[in-house]
């Protein structure tokens, strides 16, 4: 099972219902044309664009690359500096290179040589006011196991508030490193733990970002195409036990005031 939680086998009996809880389909056929999205509902039924992969195929928490492509097209220019401090399989680095932007990737569990092992709560001091765009797709509380490092924010719970405290520190750091007026984008899903509760991570993190000094630019709803959720035990459990599976992620766009 490659360490990925499954709705039927999670030993804690918790239905995490994370859209990313299985490796995404990496189809190379019939990808739609890649265009700048013009509404606040984004729907691109493929993990990657073009004939190549962005990020590492099969990485369980990968961000769909068209999301990052859209942000960089709209809010950056060639040679601008982009930072992703939850870089995972490196999707942001690959998209930035495709678009001739400079990019720095950090992660507590680096998967490639071009990602530096750095805690997102303590970014390099020399980056203050140097960055043109920050994109992050952080852990959604405890949905996925990314590795053994105890500094992994994916080990912290929204239930006891430790997840929010950690993410607040991250958002402060993002604010410090951005140039004034530049864009911070946060991709996140809410969290539902069956029998325990619903945790509105999106609203909680949005409010914290505004308090820290970011001005909202827009809120995008991103539809995910994970066929697993329409099948078998996921669907059955949601119907019989009267809860909802996650059908969208938030993409928040802010500017540093
Ligand atoms: C959703 S994944 C990122 C996916 C990535 N955008 C991609 O496309 O592959 C979240 C990442 O956050 C990392 N992470 C967790 N806690 C962290 C921390 N304190 N500092 C930096 N990275 C952290 C995990 O190791 C994981 O790789």
Average pLDDT (49-57) is 90
Mutational pocket test of ligand 1: of 18, 19, 61, the residue with most ligand atoms within 8 Å of the beta carbon: 61
Is 14 domain-assigned? no
- Tell me if residue 125 falls in helix, strand or coil: helix
Helix or strand or coil: residue 205?
Answer: helix
pLDDT in tens, 234-248: 888 889 999 998 999
Q: How many separate domains does the chain show?
A: 1
Least confident span in 1-5, 31-35, 47-51: 1-5
Confidence at residue 7, expressed as pLDDT on a 0 to 100 scale: 30
Residue 147 located in a structural domain: yes
Is the residue at 12 inside a domain?
no
Which residue segment(s) compose the domain that 67 sits in? 41-256
Lowest mean pLDDT among 1-15, 86-100, 107-121: 1-15
- As a whole number, mean pLDDT of residues 69-80 equals 98
Cα 41 to ligand 1 centroid, rounded to whole Å: 25
> What CATH number does residue 218 fall under?
3.40.50.150
Give the per-residue pLDDT at 12: 30
pLDDT value at 24 more than 60: no
What residues contact residue 160 under an 8 Å CB cut-off, 6+ apart?
none
| In the block, residue with structure tokens 């949005």 | 206
Instruction: Note whether residue 26 is domain-resident.
Output: no
Tell me which residues have their CB closer than 6 angstroms to ligand 1: 55, 59, 61-63, 85-89, 91, 106-109, 119-121, 137-139, 146-147, 151-154
Confidence category of residue 227, pLDDT binned at 50, 70, 90: low
Identify which of 140, 146, 188 to mutate to test ligand 1's pocket (most ligand atoms within 8 A of the CB): 146
Share of the chain above pLDDT 70, in %: 86
Do 173 and 106 meet the contact criterion of CB atoms below 8 Å apart?
no
Tell whether 193 is covered by a domain: yes
pLDDT confidence of 4, banded at 50, 70, 90? very low
Residue 219 has pLDDT above 90, yes or no: yes
pLDDT recorded at residue 11: 28
Whose CA is closest to atom 7 on ligand 1? 62
Q: Which of 88, 105, 116 to mutate to test the pocket of ligand 1 (most atoms within 8 A of CB)?
A: 88
Residue 8 resides in a domain: no
Would you state the pLDDT for residue 234? 84
Confidence (pTM): 0.89
Distance separating alpha carbons of residues 24 and 62, to the nearest angstrom? 8
Interval between CA 109 and ligand 1 midpoint (Å): 7
208 and 171 Cβ atoms separated by less than 8 Å: yes
Q: What is the per-residue pLDDT for 143?
A: 83
Within a 10 A sphere around the Cβ of 12, how many other Cβ atoms?
A: 11
Residue 224 lies in a domain: yes
pLDDT score, position 72:
98
d(CA 228, CA 230): 5
* Predicted local confidence at residue 195, as pLDDT: 84
Ligand 1 center from residue 170 Cα (angstroms): 12
**Atom 17, ligand 1: which residue's CA is nearest?**
152
Burial string for 198-223 (b: 16+ CB within 10 Å, else e) reads ebebbebbbebbeebebeeeeebebe
Q: What percentage of the chain reaches a pLDDT higher than 90?
A: 70
Average pLDDT, the chain: 87
Atom of ligand 1 nearest to the CA of 119: 20
Number of H helices, E strands in the chain: 5, 10
Residue with more model confidence, 239 or 124: 124
Q: Does the pLDDT of residue 131 top 90, yes or no? A: yes
Judge whether 27 lies within some domain.
Answer: no
Mean pLDDT of 80-98: 98
Q: Which atom of ligand 1 is nearest to the CA of 111?
A: 27
pLDDT digits (tens, 9 = 90+) for 155-201: 999 999 999 999 999 999 999 999 999 999 999 999 998 888 999 99
Q: Which long-range contacts (CB under 8 A, 24 or more apart) does 72-77 make?
A: 72/96, 72/99, 72/101, 72/133, 73/36, 73/99, 74/36, 75/132, 75/133, 75/182, 75/183, 75/185, 75/253, 76/101, 76/132, 76/133, 76/183, 77/101
Q: What is the mean pLDDT of residues 121-134?
A: 98
């Amino acid at each position: 099972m490659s360490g990925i939680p499954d709705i039927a086998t999670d030993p804690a009996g918790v239905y995490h219902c994370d859209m990313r809880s299985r490796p995404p389909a990496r189809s190379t056929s019939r990808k739609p044309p890649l265009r700048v999205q013009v509404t606040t509902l984004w729907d691109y039924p493929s993990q990657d664009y073009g004939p190549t992969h962005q990020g590492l195929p099969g990485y369980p928490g990968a961000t769909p690359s068209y999301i990052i492509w859209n942000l960089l097209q709209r809010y950056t220019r060639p040679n601008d500096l982009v930072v992703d401090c939850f870089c995972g399989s490196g999707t942001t680095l690959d998209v930035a290179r495709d678009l001739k932007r400079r990019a720095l990737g950090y992660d507590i569990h680096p998967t490639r040589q071009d990602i530096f092992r750095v805690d997102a709560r303590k970014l390099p001091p020399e980056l203050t006011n140097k960055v043109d765009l920050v994109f992050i797709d952080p852990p959604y509380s405890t949905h996925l196991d990314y590795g053994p490092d105890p500094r992994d924010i994916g080990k912290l719970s929204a239930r006891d508030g430790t997840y929010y405290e950690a993410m607040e520190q991250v958002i402060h750091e993002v604010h410090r490193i951005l140039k004034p007026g530049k864009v911070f984008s946060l991709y996140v899903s809410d969290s539902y733990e069956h029998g325990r509760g619903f945790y509105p991570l999106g609203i909680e993190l949005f409010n914290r970002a505004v308090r820290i000094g970011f001005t909202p630019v827009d809120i995008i709803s991103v539809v995910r195409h994970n066929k697993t959720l329409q099948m078998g035990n996921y669907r059955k459990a949601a119907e019989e036990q009267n809860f909802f599976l996650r059908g969208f992620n938030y993409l928040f766009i802010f500017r540093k005031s």
